[in-house]
């Protein structure tokens, strides 16, 4: 009898140990497993919605700090990470390519990893990192010198480290990796340096490349070490050899739709910014000047890297309206499976999930000047006089006509992730109301040098606010409510089944709103601007919420007149964790 029991116990233990750490099923069901957060976006569809309702509109006023953790040292700057929670440990990334493992009960540090960054890295928009990924017993994250690293979850020791691209050519990497069926999926950064945007898939255990998919026409993909298929058709929408330095950085990473088995990645601006050099200012017969697949959303087969479909939000792009903003898979109120994305160009798009086909587009910011609308096929109706002028038409050939464009190149919405509520059916979109003076200049490509061919100055559109958190009905495009903020919003948003919307401001306030009305229900001053991404989880019957604060990112570096407006804000680096104690959850 005792032998039998021992054999059963041994078998159970062996079965449990055969799948160490986080599994594909846990990644797939991350949204519904409320005791952990193991994906960026709180689910690979990036809805950033929690089914937890212990914390709600009635008791959120009792939310209180549980612990705080300092990232320490002099390595501050922007902290744009989203924490991950697994097996009693919080994992976060920090500026300058650092990783911390923290005990979720006490806030004590368990281990820290600092990447050894070389001299001469060329990050475009601050030394930030937007988070990591967990699979098996590994933690994965990218570094500013364009590498992907796998660390041991328990110790922080390096399992493997692989090169994504050459940092000396302007490449870097700042996004959270995506894990699908044992593959680590990464994009790349560096769109301002004439690089080529690409998506790569690696074996999670070994780090070896499985496939690559460049996102600019004319470049060849690979599968299992051999050439696979060309992206698009050579010179179909690019003149001459400009496709070789065509930009399209996949710098925000991607999402995964398990219903259609599709990776969805965004491609950034074409290079250079000067659209006339790329044939986009004045398309010619036989060349549309669309410059595919820059400024696009691209559906990719996760097994092969083949492109399934694409949708270009800004063809003939000339304002630096990257197409990288996250694509969120959701089901609308009538049961249709849709994608939603809020673009830098100021329009909120809804696409069909089966094939990426256009469904609708509506403005989500005011004063859009570059297009008068979107036609029935999803193409913008350009206002041509509001395209930056061609330097070749200028008397001195050095500076094209200056125009005012709205939104600015930092976008109606930039990288900061929106959230979808399954409770209300609405999206909650962090946006900014600003414009820019912009002009084109001559430029030639030089490896590792900025490749813009443009100059600009960003300006606020209104005196009373720049930032604007908007509740948007995706079925109609109607804005249900709006929260206005003096400084630009640059942090992520989260929604919950308890009727709450969480986000933070550059002024340091972490805020909970009523998802139906937009009423501010609770706030906490974190001491530094919030550009991070909130999460929530359940532990020992209590609901926790965390946010990383630390001002930085692109605004103070590229913001022109706006940067001067916010130059008083303090940098920092702190994880704040809050909880609703059991004894207060039911209190009157």
282-291, long-range: CB within 8 Å, 24+ apart, which pairs? 282/390, 283/316, 284/239, 287/235, 287/236, 287/237, 287/238, 287/239, 288/236, 288/237, 288/315, 288/316, 289/237, 289/315, 289/316, 290/237, 290/315, 290/316, 291/237, 291/238, 291/246, 291/315, 291/316, 291/317
| Whether residue 86 has a cis bond before it, omega within 30° of 0 | no
287: number of Cβ within 10 Å: 16
SS3 276: helix
Q: Taking Cα atoms as reference points, which of 309, 333, 325 lies closest to residue 261? A: 309
Region of residue 565 (left: phi > 0; alpha: psi -120 to 50; beta: else): alpha
CA distances from 506 to 352, 398, 481, 489, 514 (A): 35, 37, 21, 7, 20
Strand partners, 50: 496
Q: Taking Cα atoms as reference points, which of 548, 465, 542 lies closest to residue 503? A: 548
Q: Taking Cα atoms as reference points, which of 386, 524, 414, 435 lies closest to residue 62? A: 524
CA distances from 140 to 12, 156, 158, 511, 529 (A): 29, 11, 10, 30, 26
Measured CA to CA, the distance from residue 110 to residue 116 in angstroms comes to 20
Q: Identify the residue whose tokens are 């074996």.
A: 203
CA distances from 256 to 222, 265, 300, 384, 496 (A): 21, 9, 9, 36, 21
Sign of the torsion formed by the C-alpha atoms of 18, 139, 71 and 44: negative
| Burial class, 249, CB count within 10 angstroms (exposed 0-12 / middle 13-18 / buried 19+) | buried
Is position 320 annotated as part of the catalytic site? yes
Strand partners, 336: none
Strand partners, 577: 67, 546
Phi, then psi, of 346 in degrees rounded to 5: 100, 0
Helix H or strand E segment including 420: strand 419-420
Cβ atoms 265, 187 nearer than 8 A:
yes
Show the 3-state SS of 117-154.
Answer: CCCCCCCCCCCCCCCCEEEECEEEEEECCCEEEEEECC
Cβ atoms 52, 42 nearer than 8 A:
no
SS3 40: coil
Region of residue 28 (left: phi > 0; alpha: psi -120 to 50; beta: else): alpha
Catalytic, out of 145, 320, 343, 515: 320
Q: Taking Cα atoms as reference points, which of 432, 521, 514 lies closest to residue 480? A: 514
Active site residues: 320
């Amino acid at each position: 009898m005792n032998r039998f029991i021992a054999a059963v116990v041994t078998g159970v233990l062996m079965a449990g140990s055969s799948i160490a750490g986080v599994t594909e099923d846990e990644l797939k069901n991350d949204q519904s497993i409320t005791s952990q957060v193991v994906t960026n976006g709180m689910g690979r569809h990036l809805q950033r919605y929690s089914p937890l309702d212990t914390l709600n509109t009635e008791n959120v006023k009792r939310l209180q700090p549980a612990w705080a953790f300092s990232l320490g040292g002099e390595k501050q700057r922007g902290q744009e990470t989203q924490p991950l929670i697994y097996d009693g440990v919080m994992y976060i990334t920090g500026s300058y390519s650092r990783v911390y493992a923290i005990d979720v009960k006490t806030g004590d540090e368990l281990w820290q990893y600092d990447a050894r960054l070389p001299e001469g890295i060329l990050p475009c928009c601050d030394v930030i990192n937007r988070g990591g990924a967990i699979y098996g017993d590994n933690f994965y994250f990218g570094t500013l010198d364009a590498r992907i690293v796998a660390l041991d979850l328990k110790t922080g020791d390096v399992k493997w480290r692989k090169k994504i691209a050459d940092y000396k050519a302007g490449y870097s990497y700042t996004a959270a990796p995506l894990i699908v069926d044992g593959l680590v999926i990464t994009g790349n950064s560096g769109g301002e340096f004439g690089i080529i945007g690409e998506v790569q898939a690696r074996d999670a255990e070994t780090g070896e490349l499985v496939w690559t998919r460049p996102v600019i026409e004319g470049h060849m993909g690979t599968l299992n070490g051999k050439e696979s298929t060309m992206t698009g058709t050579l010179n179909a929408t690019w003149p001459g050899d400009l496709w070789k330095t065509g930009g399209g950085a996949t710098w925000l990473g991607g999402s995964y739709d398990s219903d259609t088995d599709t990776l969805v990645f965004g491609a950034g601006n074409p290079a250079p910014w000067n659209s006339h050099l790329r044939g986009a200012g004045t398309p010619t017969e036989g060349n549309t000047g669309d410059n595919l697949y820059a400024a696009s959303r691209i559906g990719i087969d996760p097994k092969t890297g083949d492109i399934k479909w694409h949708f270009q939000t800004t063809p003939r792009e000339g304002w630096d309206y990257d197409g990288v903003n996250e694509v969120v898979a959701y089901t609308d109120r009538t049961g249709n499976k849709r994608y939603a994305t809020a673009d830098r160009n100021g329009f909120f798009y809804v696409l069909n999930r089966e094939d990426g086909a256009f469904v609708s587009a509506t403005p989500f910011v005011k004063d859009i000047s570059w297009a008068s609308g979107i036609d029935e096929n999803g193409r913008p109706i350009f206002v041509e006089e509001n395209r930056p002028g061609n330097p070749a038409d200028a008397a001195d050939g050095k500076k094209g006509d200056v125009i005012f464009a709205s939104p600015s190149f930092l976008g109606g919405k930039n990288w900061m992730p929106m959230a979808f509520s399954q409770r209300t059916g609405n999206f909650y979109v962090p946006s900014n109301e600003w414009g820019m003076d912009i002009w084109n200049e001559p430029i030639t490509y030089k490896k590792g040098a900025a490749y813009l061919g443009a100059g600009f100055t960003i300006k606020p559109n209104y005196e009373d606010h720049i930032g604007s958190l908007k509740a948007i009905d995706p079925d109609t495009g109607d804005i249900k409510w709006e929260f206005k903020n003096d400084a630009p919003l640059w942090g992520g948003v989260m929604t919950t089944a308890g009727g709450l919307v969480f986000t933070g401001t550059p002024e340091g306030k972490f805020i909970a709103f009523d998802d139906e009305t937009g009423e501010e229900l609770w706030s906490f001053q974190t001491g530094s601007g919030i550009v991070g991404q909130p999460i929530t989880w359940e532990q020992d019957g209590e609901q926790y919420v965390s946010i990383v604060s630390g001002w930085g990112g692109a605004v103070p570096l590229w913001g022109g007149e706006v940067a001067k407006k916010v130059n008083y804000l303090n940098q920092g680096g702190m994880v704040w964790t809050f909880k609703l104690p059991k004894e207060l959850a039911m209190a009157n």
